[in-house]
Amino acid sequence: MTVAAIAAGERWPTGSLRPAVEDLWGAGAFLAGIADRRDGSLSPEAMAAAAAFRDVRDRLPDALWECASGRELRQYGFPEDVQIAAEVNASGSVPVLHNDRFSCRPPTYG
């Protein structure tokens, strides 16, 4: 099975790329989980994202709190969003896109 994970970042108001470390960590968490559950090789890019997550995993809440996006969310009055973003393996469902709508489905492993 081939899986793609994209740590997208976002755009500044000028249209230039604004890399987001939290997207790298999120993609890395997903990829580290895949690597831990099955035999198979990850691309060098996927290994780097997984390593970035593993490096911050034990201090993820603090790292998210202090990263640029975390500070920005707190400044705009959304500290709870930063705390929720630090929850790992907290949901038992996966968003699935079908006919331009997301729905929650239980994850399947195999």
Class of 10-105 in CATH: alpha beta
Q: Name beta bridge partners: 69.
A: none
Residue written as tokens 């911050």? Answer: 56
Beta carbons of 76 and 82 less than 8 angstroms apart: no
Confidence of residue 110 (pLDDT cuts 50, 70, 90): low
| Token reading at 62 | 């603090």
DSSP H helix total and E strand total for the chain: 5, 4
State how far the Cα of 44 lies from the Cα of 2, in Å rounded to an integer: 15
Dihedral, 47, 40, 31, 2 alpha carbons, nearest 10: 110
64, 79 in Cβ contact below 8 A? no
For residue 20, give the H/E element and its range: none
Per-residue model confidence as pLDDT tens digits over 71-103: 999 999 999 999 999 998 887 777 777 888 888
Categorize the per-residue pLDDT at 9 as very low, low, confident or very high, splitting at 50, 70 and 90.
confident
What are the domain boundaries of the chain?
Answer: 10-105
| Mean pLDDT rounded to a whole number for the chain | 87
